[in-house]
């Protein structure tokens, strides 16, 4: 069922001129933002193409320089492929088993058939609610898994309960290419790659398209490129830290998404938003920023530099999301408005 939404104010009436002007300004900002995100995505794709052709020679040089070290192999990618069907099955099981709970939790305004706009949006939110449940559990599991794998490594920082320092990633002014990998390190890395590949498939072909699709496509493209190329060029000690710090904030991100469209209290939503803000600043801006800065003085070739630029792109995305989180907290505290950072109100298709 295709559905064309109609902008109304909170009382269901036609918006006044000021609201219409505000909506038009917001739409213009979205267009500019999406243009920037599309340009950044194009740069990531061009950079990934360059890395793909440069990587075989780079890997060969590593083999020749460090003949006794066991470098990643392309067969590692089979681990990621093996996990993908498991993730699909788990998603579908979660969707089936939590549909009643998701329907019960969704806000009353999304359950009224006489309000066709919100009723159709509610159908989409119910599907997303099950996805939120799945991702909260996934990220909790992956943080625990990652901590078990990484906690004793000399570069896993005290910021996350380790005893290492970022400086141990480097040796003699260059990135250490012969670092120790614990037994489950490769499985952890490919497990995370598999999750992101599966999520990209859902983003492109299964999820209803949201207003932040260009941004999410940029994020997924950048993340997958970073994981793939950092692993096969043996820069995964940096990548593992990036993966771990992302997961911590994502637990709270998807918890907040699971309650934002429900009728739970304003205090729970605002306080949860503030907790998310603090964790987000600490992990994705402070710690990630320190990691990016520490890498800058130790880049020795185009491979390192290109992946470093990809990390900077992620940092830009995080900064943009931080502004969105602050905006939503402000709206919740002072305007009593609670909604997600993205919506389906501009395009809703096949909601049945």
Let me know if residue 156 belongs to a domain: yes
* pLDDT value at 3 more than 80: no
**Average pLDDT value for residue range 242-264:** 95
Does residue 6 form part of some domain? no
Q: Given a cut of 50, is residue 350 above it in pLDDT?
A: no
- Please tell me whether residue 106 adopts helix, strand or coil conformation: strand
pLDDT at 339: 72
Burial of 33 (0-12, 13-18, 19+ CB in 10 A): middle
- Please indicate, yes or no, if residue 16 is contained in any of the structural domains: no
The residue count for the chain? 352
Q: Per the domain annotation, does 180 fall within a domain?
A: yes
Over the stretch 304-330, which tens digit does the pLDDT of each residue have?
A: 999 999 999 999 999 999 999 999 999
The pLDDT assigned to 20 comes to: 53
User: pTM of the prediction?
Assistant: 0.88
Q: Count of CB atoms within 10 A of residue 175's CB?
A: 20
Map residue 289 onto helix, strand or coil. helix
The answer on pLDDT for 25 being more than 80 is no
User: Is the pLDDT at 42 greater than 90, yes or no?
Assistant: yes
Strand 2-3 and strand 170-171: the pairing is unpaired
Structural domain contains residue 202 = yes
State yes or no: pLDDT of 252 exceeds 60. yes
Look at residue 6 and tell me whether its pLDDT is greater than 60. Answer: no
CB 210 within 8 A of CB 344: yes
Q: Rounded to whole angstroms, how far apart are CA atoms 174 and 295?
A: 9
Are the CB atoms for 128 and 222 separated by under 8 Å? Answer: no
- Coil, helix or strand for 48? helix
13 within some domain: no
Q: What is the pLDDT of residue 346?
A: 47
Q: Pairing between strand 348-349 and 170-171?
A: unpaired
CB 348 within 8 A of CB 124: yes
pLDDT greater than 50 at residue 11: no
Per-residue pLDDT at 65 exceeds 60: yes
Residue 84 lies in a domain: yes
Give me the torsion for CA of 87, 90, 91, 97, rounded to 10°.
180
Confidence of residue 55 (pLDDT cuts 50, 70, 90): very high
| Residue 272 within a domain | yes
Cβ neighbours of residue 160 closer than 8 Å, sequence gap 6 or more:
147, 244, 245, 248, 287
pLDDT at 345 over 60: no
Position 209 scores a pLDDT of 79
Residue 82 has pLDDT above 50, yes or no: yes
pLDDT on residue 10: 43
Helix (H/G/I), strand (E/B), else coil: 121: helix
Q: How far apart are CA 112 and CA 50, in angstroms?
A: 52
Mean pLDDT, residues 260-265 taken together: 91
Determine how many CB atoms are found less than 10 A away from the CB of residue 272: 19
Q: For position 211, what pLDDT does the model report?
A: 82
Q: How many domains does the chain have?
A: 1
Res 23: pLDDT: 55
Domain, as residue range, for 283 = 34-343
User: What's the mean pLDDT when you consider all of the chain?
Assistant: 88
Per-residue pLDDT tens for 186-222?
999 999 999 999 999 999 998 887 888 999 999 999 9
DSSP at 155: T
Pick the closest to residue 107 from 91, 131, 129, 92 (CA basis).
129
305 φ, ψ to 5°? -65, -40
Between 278 and 352, the more confident residue is: 278
């Amino acid at each position: 069922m295709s559905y064309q939404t109609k902008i109304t104010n909170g009382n269901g009436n036609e918006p006044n001129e000021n609201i219409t002007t505000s909506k038009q300004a917001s739409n213009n900002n979205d267009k500019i933002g999406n243009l920037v995100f599309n340009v950044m995505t194009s740069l990531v794709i061009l950079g990934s193409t360059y890395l793909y052709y440069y990587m075989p020679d780079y890997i060969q040089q590593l083999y020749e320089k460090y003949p006794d070290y066991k470098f990643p192999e392309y067969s590692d990618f089979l681990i990621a492929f093996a996990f993908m069907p498991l993730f699909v099955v788990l998603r579908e099981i979660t969707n089936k088993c939590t549909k009643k709970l998701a329907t019960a939790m969704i806000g009353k305004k999304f359950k009224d058939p006489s309000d066709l706009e919100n009723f159709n949006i509610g159908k989409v939110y119910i599907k997303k609610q099950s996805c939120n449940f799945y991702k909260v559990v996934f990220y909790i599991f992956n943080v625990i898994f990652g901590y078990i794998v990484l906690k004793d490594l000399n570069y896993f920082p005290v910021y996350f309960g380790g005893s290492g320092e970022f400086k141990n990633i480097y040796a003699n002014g260059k990135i250490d290419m012969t670092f120790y990998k614990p037994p489950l390190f490769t499985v952890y890395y490919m497990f995370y790659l598999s999750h992101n590949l599966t999520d990209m498939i859902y983003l492109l072909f299964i999820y209803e398209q949201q207003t932040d699709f260009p941004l999410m496509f940029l994020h997924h493209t950048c993340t997958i490129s970073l994981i793939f190329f950092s692993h096969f060029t043996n820069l995964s000690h940096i990548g593992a830290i990036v993966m771990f710090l992302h997961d911590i904030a994502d637990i709270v991100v998807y918890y907040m998404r699971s309650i934002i469209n429900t009728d739970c209290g304003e205090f729970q939503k605002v306080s949860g938003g503030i907790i998310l803000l603090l964790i987000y600043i600490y992990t994705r801006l402070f710690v990630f920023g320190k990691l990016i800065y520490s890498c800058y003085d130790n880049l020795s070739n185009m491979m390192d530099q290109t992946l470093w630029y990809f990390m900077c792109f992620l940092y830009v995305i995080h900064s943009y999301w931080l502004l969105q989180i602050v905006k939503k907290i402000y709206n919740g505290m002072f305007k009593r408005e609670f909604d997600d950072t993205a919506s389906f109100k501009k395009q809703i298709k096949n909601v049945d």
